[in-house]
């Protein structure tokens, strides 16, 4: 049974963080990588993924730090 309408939802590219639709007819994008990053060599993409993960972690930490005031003592 085809459930394309519900299967197609916004994805976030693991390598560059771009939001993209998947699956899109005629698009090379995969579940985890957008059209652009699919063409990037795997080793390079791995590096991008590492950086992207790191940035996400730092953003989360920053949010936590911004949420709570610095302890007085
Ligand atoms: Zn991408």
pLDDT tens digits for 22-66?
999 999 999 999 999 999 999 999 999 999 999 999 999 999 999
Q: What does pTM read for this prediction?
A: 0.72
Phi, psi of 46 (to 5 degrees): -60, -45
How far does the centroid of ligand 1 lie from the alpha carbon of residue 9, in Å? Answer: 16
Rounded to the nearest whole angstrom, what is the distance from the C-alpha of residue 59 to the centroid of ligand 1? 18
Higher-confidence position of 72 and 43: 43
Residues within 5 A (CB) of ion ligand 1: 13, 15-16, 18, 34, 37
53 CA from centroid of ligand 1 (Å) = 13
The domain locations on the chain are: 8-67
pLDDT at site 8:
80
The SS3 of residue 59 is helix
CA of 54 to the centre of ligand 1 (A): 16
């Amino acid at each position: 049974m085809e459930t394309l309408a519900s299967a197609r939802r916004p994805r976030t590219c693991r390598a560059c963080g771009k939001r993209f639709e998947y699956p899109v007819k005629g698009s090379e994008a995969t579940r985890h990588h957008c059209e652009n990053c699919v063409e990037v060599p795997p080793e390079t993409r791995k590096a991008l993924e590492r950086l992207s993960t790191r940035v996400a972690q730092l953003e989360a930490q920053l949010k936590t730090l911004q949420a709570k005031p610095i302890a007085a003592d």
